[in-house]
Amino acid sequence: MSTWLTVLASAAVGAVTSSIVTLIGQLLEGRARRDELLLVRALELAAARREFVLEAAEKNGQTASLVDDAIVAETYFRWLKSLLETGKLPPDADKGRRKPTPAS
């Protein structure tokens, strides 16, 4: 009887350990997928911003000074990640925000 109890206990410990490892793997994979999606969206936003700046410069007959898309994407990635995790933009995003004008 003791042998069966040992076999069942070993199987239970193995099943619990396997479940915990699987759960941790799923959590890490989910986080990686989320970060990958944020990066893809950040790159899309950077490309859209570049196109907007080029079109605006062309319409106004000016030259455009562009920052590399990777740098802009890094900023958008941090902003999107902050929005997702805290619901707010990080403090460095405030410098591009317009200050509300007081109502007269």
Q: Where are the domains positioned within the chain?
A: 25-89
SS3 5: helix
**Average per-residue pLDDT in the chain?**
90
For residue range 4-29, what is the model confidence (pLDDT) as tens digits? 889 899 999 999 999 999 999 999 99
Residue 55 to residue 62: CA distance in whole angstroms: 10
pLDDT for 100 equals 65
pLDDT for 102 equals 67
pLDDT for 96 equals 65
Contact residues for 88 (Cβ-Cβ < 8 A; gap 6+): 82
Verdict on whether the full-model pTM lies above 0.85: no
Other C-beta atoms closer than 10 Å to the C-beta of 62 total 9
On the question of pLDDT at 64 being above 90, the answer is no
**Are 85 and 38 contacting, i.e. CB atoms less than 8 angstroms apart?**
no
Residue in this structure with the two tokens 């619990």, named with its chain if needed: 16
